[in-house]
Amino acid sequence: MSTFPRDVIAEILCRLPVNRVLRCRCVSKSWLALIDSPGFAKLHVTYSLKTNSNNLCLLLRKVDYYGYGKRCFYSIHFDSLNSRVITPKEMTNPLMSSEFNTKILGSCNGLLLISNTVDDTALWNPSIGKYKKLPVMGVGDNPVHVNFGFGYDVANDDYKVVRIVQFSGSEKGCFHSDVMVYSLKSSCWRGVDEQLPYVLRYVDQPGVYLNGSLHWIASAKIEIPASKLELLIVAFDLGTEKWRLVPRPRYTDTGFIVNLVVLGGSLCVYKTYFVDSYSDWGDVDIVLDHVHIWEMKEYGVKDSWTGVASLEQPDRQLGCTVVPLAYSNNRDEILVEQDNRRFLWTGIKEDSIKIVDTGVGTLRGFLHFNSYVYLGSLVQLTSNDDLNKQYNADKGGNKKARKKSPSKSHNSPDRSHSQGNSSQPNTVEKDNSSTRSPPKDAEEIQTIEDEHTSEVEKDVQ
Amino acid sequence: MASSSSSSKTGLKKMLTLKSSDGDEFELEESIVIQCQTIKHMVEDGFSLIPLQNVDTKTLTKIIEYMKKHAEKTESNKEEIKNFNKEFVKGSFDDQFELVSAANYLHINGLMDLLCQSIADRINNKSVRAVREIFNISNDYTPDEEEKVRDEHKWAHEGGEFDESLD
């Protein structure tokens, strides 16, 4: 079978979960080259998305109220949620810091946007253990809030981070915003011409990715009381870098919080309703009452918004949050995270609730967590520069540059070719702020080297 | 060649002849054969005798069996097709590889999907050594190189016993 066509091998391997594919890198040099190629990573992602298959994982992030303890993550393969014994896998947090709990601000095709502070953010593929720190980009003076989003620009085959910084405007209740886009391909931040004409409603809700766009809940301006607000869905097209409105469901009531989520490949909103609860002692507490999930069955079509499920809070005493995460394979159930401490499978048609025992809480002192859905994928964090460098290393036999270690991007200063940003230190090295800006000389040498490599590549083409 | 005589036998149905690399000829209705994109294009170009130099008689027989069954697919016999598919992928790895190469060459998407998934499921838990044997690949790594590649994703090589068997 030595003449087995390469594309048939690819068709077979793209149906395996990530860890199995990675193991197959050891089979031979040609299999390694195939598996490491961007084309194969894309095929693998496309197949996983198309079949909604076995590659979904949950990432658990510890919520640490006391500011100490290990800030690591755990990963659980989606398929294992139904098995009797679940073994969550410990993941090393690339932004591990004693000061901050690392937040997850976006998830797309296996890459996660993670952040400690606005100056300390990275893209991370937990499945292959690779990450890349984003260059530091100042937020300006007195921002009201900073929001992020992360997704895939289909048109340009690029991954992009969007950062929105909002400032108080001159008119009361109005904000003006500064929108920047980081492109993985070019490795730099760039300003966006078209500014966001709305106010993001929820500071702690990052953009939700679907169909080449990022989505946020927003309103025209801030009003008090908040119930008077018209809650819109704004979308940022990562290809055209333009804002637009996406039709929202008709809200006939008030008194809820709206969140966006993607379930089963559709944009959904879930509305969380609260009620007053009186304890035996006469105290009043606001507790969660129920959650309504609406799905936009056909993207962009207003009339396709359909109510799909109403999740009642099973245990009011403990109830604070219910976060829908994903449909089950047969779409009969929705996996939800309840109160940051456990997972439930809740029936859509039938009123059933199954508690999933992840073993995380009792085993590892991981009492509270946030969870995120991500795809197991092989997508690399390489920019065009990295590809050039790789090419140069392969050509010149520079073993050091070729070495693949998780800290690769760490050690190689990224250059700032970006417009109007040449003075920004574009590299973050370790968490120590004193090493953040590379010596000027080193940066220049790096740029020259890169121009050289670009030429070499052109020659070959 | 056979097309005009066979049309009379089967009424209005247009017939095609597939010829294997061993020289054997198989006569089939066009409606069955057009599941195969490569042949469909040849039919559109006016061919009625289709020589398949990369597909031997044994493999072609299996592929025709698959196409005939799947041409009968309706809403009501889903279970039957499912069982047929299950039986169809039971052969040895070598047989599966012959079939998948042919399905790839002939562009029969459904069959390609079925076979690739079945092979993927079967190698899912195999050891690296077993995968090499199954695909008849010689190890071109030095022990040091292989260890280095292994070390890059150590966790992928951990987690229980891997299957060393070759079937």
Across the interface, of B116, B137, B139, the residue whose CB is closest to A12 is B116
Name the residue among B32, B46, B10, B167 with its Cα closest to residue B106: B32
β-bridge pairing A130-133 and A120-125: antiparallel
> For residue A113, is pLDDT > 80?
yes
DSSP codes joined into one string, A312-344: EPS-GGG-S-EEEEEE-TTSSEEEEEETTTEEE
B 103-162: CB under 8 A from A: 104, 112, 116-117, 119-121, 123-125, 128, 131-132, 135-141, 146, 149-150, 152-153, 155-157, 159
Tell me the per-residue pLDDT of A54-110, one tens digit each, with 9 for 90 and over. Answer: 578 888 887 765 544 456 788 888 878 877 777 788 888 888 877 777 889 999 999
- What residues in A contact B161, CB-CB < 8 Å? none
Mean predicted confidence (pLDDT) in B10-15: 70
Interchain CB contact of B82 with A (< 8 Å): no
* B30 or A457: which leads in pLDDT: B30
Q: Taking all residues of chain A, what is their mean pLDDT, rounded to a whole number?
A: 77
> For residue B128, is pLDDT > 50?
yes
Mean predicted confidence (pLDDT) in A187-214: 91
pLDDT of residue A36: 93
Tell me the per-residue pLDDT of A210-239, one tens digit each, with 9 for 90 and over. Answer: 999 999 999 887 766 666 678 899 999 999
Prediction ipTM score: 0.89
pLDDT of residue A365: 60
Across the interface, of B101, B121, B140, the residue whose CB is closest to A29 is B140
> For residue B48, is pLDDT > 90?
no
pLDDT of residue A445: 22
Sheet holding A120-125, edge to edge: A103-108, A111-117, A120-125, A130-133
% of chain B residues with pLDDT over 70: 92
> For residue B9, is pLDDT > 90?
no
Among A133-142, A147-156, A283-292, the range scoring the smallest mean pLDDT is: A283-292
What confidence tier does A379 reach under pLDDT thresholds 50, 70, 90? very high
A 71-130: CB under 8 A from B: 89, 128-129
Among A19-33, A82-96, A320-334, A370-384, the range scoring the smallest mean pLDDT is: A82-96
pLDDT of residue A165: 92
Please tell me whether the overall predicted TM-score, pTM, comes out greater than 0.95 for this model: no
What confidence tier does A419 reach under pLDDT thresholds 50, 70, 90? very low
What confidence tier does A285 reach under pLDDT thresholds 50, 70, 90? confident
CB A334 within 8 A of CB A293: yes
Query: How buried is residue A168: exposed, middle or buried, by Cβ count under 10 Å (0-12/13-18/19+)?
Result: middle
Among A52-61, A198-207, A319-328, A343-352, the range scoring the smallest mean pLDDT is: A52-61
Distances (CA, A) of A408 to A102, A174, A283, A377, A420: 21, 43, 55, 19, 27
pLDDT of residue B5: 43
Mean predicted confidence (pLDDT) in B135-142: 94
pLDDT of residue B1: 43
Tell me the per-residue pLDDT of A21-42, one tens digit each, with 9 for 90 and over. Answer: 999 999 999 999 999 999 999 9
Tell me the per-residue pLDDT of B83-104, one tens digit each, with 9 for 90 and over. Answer: 999 999 998 999 999 999 999 9
Tell me the per-residue pLDDT of B77-88, one tens digit each, with 9 for 90 and over. Answer: 999 999 999 999
* C-alpha radius of gyration, chain A, whole number: 23
> In which element (H, E) is residue A277 found?
strand A266-278
- Which segments within A29-157 are labelled E, that is strand? 56-62, 73-77, 89-91, 103-108, 111-117, 120-125, 130-133, 145-153
> For residue A10, is pLDDT > 90?
yes
> For residue A426, is pLDDT > 60?
no
Hey, are the CB atoms on A28 and B146 less than 8 Å from each other? no
Place of tokens 């410990």: A90
* A368 or A148: which leads in pLDDT: A148
> For residue B52, is pLDDT > 60?
yes
Across the interface, of A11, A22, A23, the residue whose CB is closest to B116 is A11
